[in-house]
Chains A and B, each alone.
Chain A
Amino acid sequence: MFRPVKLTRVTIQTPEEYISEVMAILGDLRLLHLIRVEETHLGRLGYVAHVNTTLLGRYDALLVRINRLLEDLQFPRSSQVVGKTPRPDKVIFRLEEECTAVEKESLEVLEQRNKLRSTLFEHQTLIDRLRLLEPAGLELDRLYSLRYTTFHAGLIPEENLERLETSLGEIHHSLIPIDRKEGRVVLLAMALKEDEAILLRALKSAFWDPLELSTELQGSVTSILERLTGEEQQLEDDLAELENKCKALAHQFGGKLQQLREELLLGRQLLLAQEKFGQIDHTYLLTGWLPISLFDDLKQRVMKASSDKALVEQIDPAEVKEVRSGILSIPILFNNPALIRPFERLTTLYGTPTYEEVEPTAFLAITFLLLFGIMFGDVGHGAVLCALGYLVFKKMFRYLDYGIILMECGLSAIVFGILYGSVFGLEDLIPALWMRPMENISYFMKVSAGIGISMISTGLILNLVNILRQHRYGELLSASGLAGALFYWLIAGLGVRYFLIGPPSAFEILFAKAAGGLLFTLMILQRPVRQLLARRSRTKKGRFLVPGIGVTFLESLVEVLDELLRYLANTASFVRIAAFALAHAGLFMAVFTLADMVRSAQGSGFFYWLTLILGNVVIIGLEGLVVSIQTVRLEYYEFFSKFFRGGGKPFQPLFEEKGTP
């Protein structure tokens, strides 16, 4: 729970013939984090990542065909569950055959339908264009017979009309707007036949969209329109028939196509995973991280599948050369019991812990629930939160984690509600097992400061553990290491002693001064001294007062003062726990006062209970939000910042868990 799952580095070497089966086994096992062979030293031995591009090409082409079929048939794409993991090179043949069979039945009908659709569309556009000219009541044959003028009908964008007018200023012209449509103006442009070239040039540069009217169209625009509308009706009937046929096809083949698609995607994913393998001659090499507990199972299955021709080895992570030189980092696989697992989200939000660091999710979970409970303590509200969490847990699969967190927070709030003796704000129903917040304000604040001291101390201890684990011994003497922690405990100890027992004795003050002074000087001097020693060991010359030492000294002083002040600020910041718990109780008082005012105005009854219920809902929403944000802030900025460095790599299994939507 405090360490991630122990991993081991696994290397599998198999001859080419068995690679597909091995891949299928890996697909079933799932918990293998593959490393690109090229990144390891084996990559330099000549192992090359080799993806079977021709096979991948076939998969891609087939995927395009199936997707298009699904789209044309208008069948929704949804995920299906696939049973066994297939062998990619084998299963492609079956998939291609089945797809061809479906295509044979449906492609022809689909094509006919598409063609009819486009013909109908063209017909419709011609009708629309002629409709544009209808308001002018034009008679086309009369216009064509004009002797000295020429005319052009078309559309131009509205904003270009003014410029067109100005540009034709030199010639005789007439621009007659007929109608406005979709940001464009339907225009009839007329000019003298001798100026037609200028007119055309100007129209050309104004984004002219000519309405082609062939000279065959006789008669007035209205009569032409009637004729075309009649033809359209016939085309629409034909189209409806074809659409029905397509629907029948969709019904018949839709499910099957989806199934094919899922298998295709799975096979493709397996093929792509090959990218991380290495290949030399006819042997494949894979390497990755695997939980130790799964190693024996893997070895057995691979040996069986490859008839003992494969080679499976494991190395302890600490001995892997790349890890020691820092090129590769061991990924971490979280290892928490089910109740604490939802809090992993909060941890990864801040950063991913490295493999050697203490994994702080357990501490996060406990302190989160504790702080939440203290700030939100009420039996009734806790029960509501619990019920809400249970609902989310059961109904909404995607928010499972949040459901569990809500339930646990609710339970914590119930516990502290019992301790405060508060049920939906009523303080006389059950006795307070610990204290009532509103009546012991200063005591509560001292308790909060105490909680702050304990949390920060935990953070400091974890920091020390991390320092030791990561062998960063140089930091022990700094303000964020052992010296800082001891100083903090000294001052905190004095403070606690003052509040519990009374003013400290003269001896204790003297001891505190001496120890504090010693630690303070140590913290300030450690950086300049280390720098000095490093420089002396390199240059081997005398000279204590190296240039730049004064600056380092000053920097060190500022840094230490800053850290110590931050400890003080962090501890004081925990008093907000008391503040929010009191705010919670205060909000209850406000709601009751409001309800009493309503009661005195309207009498006991519907409105009184309505006010109470609404008030409680508001309190749960508001306080819940604020308290959770404040708790997360306290966790991150006061707790995590003491020891969490992050920079780790999360464990990436070979496939995602199937079945999650």
Chain B
Amino acid sequence: MQMKGCWIWLITVFFLLLPAMGLGQEAVPAASISPEVAKWGFMAAAVAVGVSSLGAGIAVALVGSAAMGALSERPEMAGRALIFLGLAEGIAIYGLIVAIMILGKI
């Protein structure tokens, strides 16, 4: 039991020390752009990511469930099914790219 207790302490310390070591770094101040435009820019970025994630969610749900149904009977179709799934997931990435481009300009 002594050895076991020792192990428990060691592991807990390992988990806590590793991340707690270190101090955060301050964020770099943004380039100058009028706060009015910046406000709308943030809003736009948020909407872009949010709505595209929603669309991707719906798409992946539909494609994924149909893919699962077909795969369960014919496993050889896995490759083609996953290609369609990848197409659906890409929609979220498009939104993310737009958001990053917007935030890059602000």
Tell me if chain B binds chain A.
yes
Contacts of B22 in A (CB 8 A): 446, 450, 499-500
Contacts of A366 in B (CB 8 A): 8, 11-12, 15
Task: Find B24's partner among A337, A363, A443, A455 (CB 8 Å cutoff).
Answer: A443
Q: CB-nearest residue of chain A relative to B4?
A: A1
Question: How many residues on the A side are at the interface (Cβ–Cβ under 8 A)?
Answer: 23
Q: Determine chain B's interface SS by DSSP, over half rule.
A: helix
Contacts of B8 in A (CB 8 A): 362, 366
Contacts A370-B12, A442-B27 given; indicate if A337 touches B4 (C-beta within 8 A).
Answer: yes
In the bound assembly, the distance between CA atoms of A454 and B12 in angstroms comes to 11
In the bound assembly, the distance between CA atoms of A648 and B25 in angstroms comes to 47
A586 to nearest B CB, angstroms?
16
B31 within 8 A of A: no
Interface residues of B in 3-18 (CB under 8 A from A): 4, 7-8, 11-12, 14-16, 18
Contacts A447-B19, A450-B18 given; indicate if A440 touches B11 (C-beta within 8 A).
Answer: no
B21 within 8 A of A: yes
Contacts of A440 in B (CB 8 A): 24
Contacts A440-B24, A442-B24, A447-B20 given; indicate if A454 touches B4 (C-beta within 8 A).
Answer: no
Contacts of A453 in B (CB 8 A): 18
A214 to nearest B CB, angstroms?
64
Task: Find B25's partner among A367, A455, A499 (CB 8 Å cutoff).
Answer: A499
A486 to nearest B CB, angstroms?
18
**CB distance B15 to A434 under 8 Å?**
no
In the bound assembly, the distance between CA atoms of A451 and B14 in angstroms comes to 10
Q: CB-nearest residue of chain A relative to B8?
A: A366
**CB distance B15 to A370 under 8 Å?**
yes
Give B50-89 as 1s and 0s: 1 = Cβ < 8 Å from A's Cβ atoms.
Answer: 0000000000000000000000000000000000000000
In the bound assembly, the distance between CA atoms of A458 and B14 in angstroms comes to 10
**CB distance A446 to B18 under 8 Å?**
no
B81 to nearest A CB, angstroms?
16
Q: CB-nearest residue of chain B relative to A448?
A: B19
In the bound assembly, the distance between CA atoms of A71 and B81 in angstroms comes to 58
**CB distance B11 to A363 under 8 Å?**
yes
B56 to nearest A CB, angstroms?
16
**CB distance B24 to A454 under 8 Å?**
no
**CB distance A451 to B15 under 8 Å?**
yes
**CB distance A367 to B15 under 8 Å?**
yes
Contacts A337-B4, A366-B8 given; indicate if A446 touches B15 (C-beta within 8 A).
Answer: no
Contacts of A1 in B (CB 8 A): 4, 7
Contacts of B21 in A (CB 8 A): 500
**CB distance B12 to A450 under 8 Å?**
no
Give A445-483 as 1s and 0s: 1 = Cβ < 8 Å from B's Cβ atoms.
Answer: 011101101110010000000000000000000000000
In the bound assembly, the distance between CA atoms of A450 and B7 in angstroms comes to 21
**CB distance A454 to B14 under 8 Å?**
yes
In the bound assembly, the distance between CA atoms of A440 and B20 in angstroms comes to 13
In the bound assembly, the distance between CA atoms of A294 and B34 in angstroms comes to 79
In the bound assembly, the distance between CA atoms of A447 and B18 in angstroms comes to 9
Contacts of A370 in B (CB 8 A): 12, 15-16
Q: CB-nearest residue of chain B relative to A500?
A: B22
A107 to nearest B CB, angstroms?
57
Interface residues of A in 315-360 (CB under 8 A from B): 337
Q: CB-nearest residue of chain A relative to B22?
A: A500
Q: CB-nearest residue of chain B relative to A498?
A: B25
Task: Find A451's partner among B4, B11, B19 (CB 8 Å cutoff).
Answer: B19
Task: Find A434's partner among B1, B20, B23, B25 (CB 8 Å cutoff).
Answer: B20
B10 to nearest A CB, angstroms?
11
In the bound assembly, the distance between CA atoms of A434 and B18 in angstroms comes to 14
Contacts of B19 in A (CB 8 A): 446-448, 450-451, 454
Give A1-36 as 1s and 0s: 1 = Cβ < 8 Å from B's Cβ atoms.
Answer: 110000000000000000000000000000000000
B18 to nearest A CB, angstroms?
5
In the bound assembly, the distance between CA atoms of A448 and B1 in angstroms comes to 31
Q: CB-nearest residue of chain A relative to B23?
A: A443
A455 to nearest B CB, angstroms?
8
Q: CB-nearest residue of chain A relative to B3?
A: A1
In the bound assembly, the distance between CA atoms of A440 and B12 in angstroms comes to 23
Q: CB-nearest residue of chain B relative to A449?
A: B19
Contacts of A455 in B (CB 8 A): 15
In the bound assembly, the distance between CA atoms of A367 and B24 in angstroms comes to 24
Give A638-657 as 1s and 0s: 1 = Cβ < 8 Å from B's Cβ atoms.
Answer: 00000000000000000000
Contacts of A442 in B (CB 8 A): 24-25, 27
Task: Find B15's partner among A337, A443, A454, A500 (CB 8 Å cutoff).
Answer: A454
In the bound assembly, the distance between CA atoms of A484 and B105 in angstroms comes to 38
In the bound assembly, the distance between CA atoms of A443 and B7 in angstroms comes to 29
In the bound assembly, the distance between CA atoms of A458 and B21 in angstroms comes to 18
Contacts of B14 in A (CB 8 A): 454
In the bound assembly, the distance between CA atoms of A599 and B24 in angstroms comes to 38
Q: CB-nearest residue of chain A relative to B18?
A: A454
In the bound assembly, the distance between CA atoms of A500 and B21 in angstroms comes to 8
A4 to nearest B CB, angstroms?
14
B49 to nearest A CB, angstroms?
14
Contacts of A451 in B (CB 8 A): 15, 18-19
In the bound assembly, the distance between CA atoms of A570 and B99 in angstroms comes to 23
In the bound assembly, the distance between CA atoms of A228 and B57 in angstroms comes to 72
Contacts of B24 in A (CB 8 A): 440, 442-443, 446
A31 to nearest B CB, angstroms?
21
Q: CB-nearest residue of chain A relative to B1?
A: A337
B22 to nearest A CB, angstroms?
5
In the bound assembly, the distance between CA atoms of A58 and B11 in angstroms comes to 58
In the bound assembly, the distance between CA atoms of A317 and B63 in angstroms comes to 49
In the bound assembly, the distance between CA atoms of A455 and B19 in angstroms comes to 11
Give B15-45 as 1s and 0s: 1 = Cβ < 8 Å from A's Cβ atoms.
Answer: 1101111111101000000000000000000
Contacts of A443 in B (CB 8 A): 23-24
Pull 9 A–B residue pairs with CB atoms less than 8 Å apart, ordered by A. A443-B24, A447-B19, A447-B20, A448-B19, A451-B15, A451-B19, A453-B18, A458-B11, A500-B21
**Additional pairs, 11, CB under 8 Å, beyond known A337-B1, A454-B18, A500-B21:** A1-B4, A362-B8, A366-B8, A366-B12, A370-B12, A370-B16, A442-B24, A442-B25, A453-B18, A454-B19, A499-B25
* 9 A-B pairs with least C-beta separation: A443-B24, A450-B19, A447-B19, A500-B22, A454-B18, A1-B4, A451-B19, A454-B15, A366-B11
